[in-house]
Structure 1
Amino acid sequence: MTRKAGRPRAFDPDEALRRALMVFWERGYEGASMTALQEATGLTAPQLYRAFESKERLFERAVRLYQDEYGFGIRSGIPLAEAVVEYLDRAAREFTTEPGRGCLVSTGLLATGQDAQAAAAICRAERDHALTGLRQRVADAVARGELPETADVAGLSRTIGALIQGMSVQARDGAGYEELAHIVTAAQILLAAVSKG
Structure 2
Amino acid sequence: MHNVVDLKVLYFGTPVVLIGTRNLNGTANLAPMSSAWWLGDQCMLGMNTASQTTQNLVRERACVLNLPSSALAAAVDRLALLSGSPVMTPHKIEKGYRYEPDKFAAAGLTQLPADLVAAPRVAECPIQLECEVLASEPFGIGTDAVAHTVRVLRAHVADELIIPGTAHVDPVGWDPLIMKFCEFFGDGTQVHPSRLATAWQIPSPATSH
Judge same fold: TM > 0.5, yes or no: no
Which has more helix, going by share of residues? 1
Which has more strand, going by share of residues? 2
TM-score (norm 1): 0.30
TM-score (norm 2): 0.29
